[in-house]
Structure 1
Amino acid sequence: MIARLKADLPVSYLCHKLNVSRSGFYEWLDREPSGTERRNDELTGQVMTAFSASSGAAGYRKVTAALARQNTFVDRKTVAAIMRGLGLISPAAERAFKVANRRSLRTADPVDLLKRDFRSLTPGAIMVGDITYVHTQQGWLFVATVIDLASRAVLGYATGAKMTTQLITRAMNMAIETGHVKPGAIFHSDHGVQYRSKRFTRYCGKHGILRSMGARMQCWDNAAAESFFSKLKSERLNWRTFTTRRAARAEVISYIHHFNTARLHQTLNYATPHERLAELILAA
């Protein structure tokens, strides 16, 4: 193949790509190649030509298809081996490899400790959380919550202009400061990047909190957290227009206070979250 392409490309470049020495190439040039070597050489040249014709964007499947259109039928594994040997890889395939490699190195997400069982009899033993957003004329206001499953009380919340890990740690700090979060408590969330971050993992480890996550793209696995946001929006936010984030934040805080202290909760047999929390603390 080097002999066939050396009129268009430098011999040193071709030898480097094929991982052979220049002296070895010239020694080979002096002898008669076998039929198999000639066929392999010809196929390698066709693969390089097809790859070049795609401006270096084609993967081995498209190169195989391009060869078939020229009546050269070859197994795509053979084409993949040739391209791998030549170091021919498209930018898209290279990016996909890098992403896959980063994912393989990432710490595994926590397992689902709840399995959609949102019942709890001990305040602060199992908590759920999520992040939602509120539209304002200044831009989005993001809201993070920490909700106790036993009482359904919103123990902690935080708002901000950015959806960051700091947002959820601020909400968790507020929950911890209530004194109701038990040692070894479970915190269940979705697979949002903030909840998967190393910073939040370290935070939970420092405070003795066990992390739990449902399946990806399964909203029902975190239904208790999402239910609160549904009520917040349908009962207070959807029919209002906010000119500033500050106004939206005030409304969110007002609703959380109403939810905790005045709103009757069907799951709690029509008690308020704070009433149920007091009952459970007294019974303990």
Structure 2
Amino acid sequence: MTRKRNRFDDSYKLEVVKMVKDQGLTVPQVCLDQNLGETAVRRWIRQYDAEQLGQAGIGNPLTAEQKRIRQLEQENRQLKTDNDILKKGYRLLCPRTEVTYRLVRQLQQKAYSVAHVCRLLNVSRSGFYEARRRAQAPAPLSCPVVAQLKASFAASNGCSGSRSLSKALRAEGMHVGRYKVRRMMRANGLRSVWKRKFVHTTDSKHNLPIAENVLNRQFEMQAANTAWVADITYIQTRSGWLYLAVVLDLFSRKIVGWAMAPSMPAELVCSAMQMAIAQRRPPPGLIAHSDRGSQYASAIYRSLLARHGMQQSMSRKGNCWDNAVMERFFLSLKMERVWRRNYANHGEAIRDITQYIVGYYNNERLHSKLGYLPPTVYERTMALKQPIEVSGIS
């Protein structure tokens, strides 16, 4: 039987190349997650490199304006590389942060701004001011209460707040009030990783069409590409909020599509769904479940589902349990990765979250629901157990 050759559009090829080029993933990792051949992916990378060097690549010959743009991009990359070499060389010579902050103070006295110097040395400006404040402040006195507070905080893996820590101290026979515990935490630099801001991502107050709840909490599927769930969450960075749209296959709990952007228009959820469709090529009749957000009720998203024969399903109003599997993934993502990071900008967050999805969650993280197998391994294991049809006889 002749194998049908898959054809991918240029936008999907570019997304795959960016995973390798910009987000630090290896070609085998991307091929394993996206079910692609290494030969094809390496060919796409060579074509991309040829275009970046100003060559014609696989398309038409470049115009003079395009060549000028390629030249400017190459010069920009060269300047960035030279700057990185100087930064790495400085860190090799002066690895201690005290030396770095001392250099910042010296350059500040020569009329250079702290923000400019910290950016060039790749250090945090808030960290510089905090180190200066600690140097000027008297050292906190050590006592049994502070020692027990630090021990209880470490035992909770940095998750407990002042309420739970005050109760933990009382259990040890130390009657300390909550507000005193809060002051002690602030004085000793103990900050709970669970403290976070709430950002509203679902706007169900609209006049757009609402689909029925076809999924109806039926989260157990017998085959892949039978039902997908989708949702949007937010990621905090020092450069502003980053929104993440995700598509998950209920059969294997595998993330089959995702997209990130500093805003959350309907195009964001469409990009995540298009990635899932390009990778999985689902048959008609697949259930695409989401909440009632305006992005999922938009005309372009409904048109995308209709073109591929998908059946749209939506949760009941204000009912997060109708999409509990996706909510659980977001909780795992934030507990295991996001809340333990302090992203400086959107690019850093995109690289780290992509690495989590492709390099860890889909291919390494053990799921108790899947018999303690990663989603990709689970799908391949179940595929081997299915009967193979030969000449119409299974």
- Tell me the TM-score range normalised by the shorter chain: 0.5 to 0.7
Regions of 4+ moved over 6 Å = none
Paired residue for 2:371?
269
TM-score, normalising length from structure 2?
0.45
Report the 3-state secondary structure (helix = DSSP H, G, I; strand = E; otherwise coil) of the residue aligned with 1:145: strand
Report the 3-state secondary structure (helix = DSSP H, G, I; strand = E; otherwise coil) of the residue aligned with 2:295: helix
Deviations 1:154-212 (A, max 9, x none): 00111111101111111111111113523211111011110011111111101111110
Unaligned runs of at least 5 residues, structure 2: 1-204, 387-394
Question: CA contact under 8 A between 2:256 and 2:280: conserved in structure 1?
Answer: no
| Whole-angstrom CA distance in 1 between matches of 2:384 and 2:292 | 35
Rg larger in 1 or in 2? 1
Question: CA contact under 8 A between 2:244 and 2:258: conserved in structure 1?
Answer: yes
| Whole-angstrom CA distance in 1 between matches of 2:383 and 2:274 | 21
Paired residue for 2:94?
none
Report the 3-state secondary structure (helix = DSSP H, G, I; strand = E; otherwise coil) of the residue aligned with 1:111: coil
Paired residue for 2:384?
282
| Whole-angstrom CA distance in 2 between matches of 1:180 and 1:263 | 25
Question: CA contact under 8 A between 2:225 and 2:286: conserved in structure 1?
Answer: yes
Deviation at 1:245, TM superposition (A): 0.3
Identity of aligned residues (%): 36
Matches within 5 A, 1:173-212: 173-212=274-313
Question: CA contact under 8 A between 2:215 and 2:287: conserved in structure 1?
Answer: no
| Whole-angstrom CA distance in 1 between matches of 2:383 and 2:294 | 34
| Whole-angstrom CA distance in 2 between matches of 1:202 and 1:152 | 25
Matches within 5 A, 1:248-263: 248-257=349-358, 258-263=360-365
Give the partner amino acid of 2:263: K
Matches within 5 A, 1:59-78: none
Matches within 5 A, 1:142-221: 142-221=243-322
Paired residue for 2:326?
225
Question: CA contact under 8 A between 1:141 and 1:161: conserved in structure 2?
Answer: yes
Report the 3-state secondary structure (helix = DSSP H, G, I; strand = E; otherwise coil) of the residue aligned with 1:229: helix
Give the partner amino acid of 1:202: S
Report the 3-state secondary structure (helix = DSSP H, G, I; strand = E; otherwise coil) of the residue aligned with 1:208: coil
| Whole-angstrom CA distance in 1 between matches of 2:275 and 2:368 | 26
Question: CA contact under 8 A between 1:123 and 1:281: conserved in structure 2?
Answer: no
Paired residue for 1:242?
343
| Whole-angstrom CA distance in 2 between matches of 1:117 and 1:252 | 28
Deviations 1:3-62 (A, max 9, x none): xxxxxxxxxxxxxxxxxxxxxxxxxxxxxxxxxxxxxxxxxxxxxxxxxxxxxxxxxxxx
| Whole-angstrom CA distance in 1 between matches of 2:373 and 2:278 | 24
| Whole-angstrom CA distance in 1 between matches of 2:311 and 2:296 | 12
Deviation at 1:114, TM superposition (A): 1.6
RMSD: 1.5
